[in-house]
Amino acid sequence: MRVLITGGSGFVGQRLCQALARQGHELQVVSRSPARAREQLPDGCDVRDSALAFADTPPETLVNLAGESIAAKRWSEAQKHELIDSRLRATGDLVALCEQLKEAGEALPRALVSASAMGYYGEQNDGDQDDTVVSEDTPPHEEFAHRLCAEWEAAAQEVAALGVRTATVRIGLVLGEGGGSLQKMLPPFKWGLGGRFGSGRQFMPWIHRDDLVAAILFLLERESASGVFNASAPHPVTNAEFTRTLGQALHRPAVLPVPAFVLKAGLGEMSRLLLTGADMRPVRLQQAGFTFRYRTLDRALEAILSSRPGAPR
């Protein structure tokens, strides 16, 4: 199968490309830096700077992961614009590619799996844990993170309108070795300086990177899978539970909380990512028959931390 991946050189994209290459698929990767991406990806990847550049070798399936990192910079108005625009540009190129193929009488891709995020639901709690379980049917709360995800998802629906089966994955905090949010959290915890954010009662939906890759492959291959799927482990935890479990996995205390006002002063509006959350559950993904390998946080962290260079065996 010929698979086109936007964002293929990112934290999730690289692992996805490795999995697809092992299965013998032909990989087409869109990257703003093709030369550097080729060094990071499996041999034989066809890397180009635009999805439209692949019109001469039409892909059979699409995976859309591209977008500016949401936590890379403080959320100035210019950065907010770039967060949205980077996602709409990448998704819009896939729409244009499909339109071009249709006009030329070429076969359209069979499926698109397009990323979104748990931010779609907005602020489901603000440090006060409640009993609200967030499924794919939960209505969102209006704020920037919701608008970002809603516009991203709407752009992907333009591919669906052309007749391509489309599955949208609202992704939780992705955990894995060698990158992502966990990589940024490890240094203070190793020094015994880790602790909860704010009250610690806000939920942190999470997913092991390998489970996310497996879910993307599952949705690509399952012909009945379309619509929205929450991509997070079946057992979300609060921030306090997350920091306590990470401290235990590293054999370090996690007793130094970061007050909410410090986060707000340092990060501005972006602090909402750390101070609010959602008890998000993968209802539709499990109903479709997907099985998680890492269902609990302690098991996921054990697997990730044991694979680090220098980790005890």
> Ramachandran region of residue 279, left (φ > 0), alpha (ψ -120 to 50) or beta?
beta
Does residue 292 sit within a domain? yes
CATH number at residue 264: 3.40.50.720
Does residue 187 sit within a domain? yes
Does residue 186 sit within a domain? yes
Does residue 175 sit within a domain? yes
**Structure confidence at residue 313 (pLDDT):** 38
Are 96 and 52 in contact by the 8 Å Cβ rule? The answer is: yes
Q: Reduced to 3 states, what is the DSSP secondary structure of residue 56?
A: coil
**Structure confidence at residue 308 (pLDDT):** 59
Q: What is the percent of the chain where pLDDT is above 90?
A: 71
Are 94 and 64 in contact by the 8 Å Cβ rule? The answer is: yes
Cα 157 to Cα 150: distance, rounded to the nearest angstrom: 11
Does residue 311 sit within a domain? no
Q: In the chain, how many domains are there? A: 1
- The DSSP code sequence of 160-185 is HHTT-EEEEEEE-EEE-TTSHHHHHH
* Residue 61: strand pairing partners: 3, 111
Tell me the pLDDT tens digit for each residue of 51-86: 999 999 999 999 999 998 887 788 889 999 999 999
**Per-residue exposure over 97-135, b if at least 16 CB sit within 10 Å of its own CB, e if not:** bbeebeeeeeebbebbbbbbbbbbbbbbbebebeeeebe
In this prediction the pTM is 0.93
Give the closest residue to 48 by CA, choosing from 9, 10, 12.
Answer: 9
* Residue 117: strand pairing partners: 171
Are 12 and 209 in contact by the 8 Å Cβ rule? The answer is: yes
**Structure confidence at residue 131 (pLDDT):** 61
Domain of residue 212, residue span: 2-306
Tell me the pLDDT tens digit for each residue of 185-212: 888 888 887 888 888 999 999 999 999 9
| pLDDT reading at 310 higher than 60 | no
Q: Reduced to 3 states, what is the DSSP secondary structure of residue 312?
A: coil
| pLDDT reading at 262 higher than 80 | no
Tell me the pLDDT tens digit for each residue of 9-51: 999 999 999 999 999 999 999 998 899 999 999 999 999 999 9
Does residue 312 sit within a domain? no
| Tokens found for residue 64 | 């859309």
Mean pLDDT of 166-176: 96
Does residue 211 sit within a domain? yes
Please, what is the average pLDDT of the chain?
Answer: 90
Is residue 181 classed exposed, middle or buried when 0-12, 13-18 and 19+ CB atoms within 10 A define those classes? middle
Mean pLDDT of 153-165: 97
Does residue 38 sit within a domain? yes
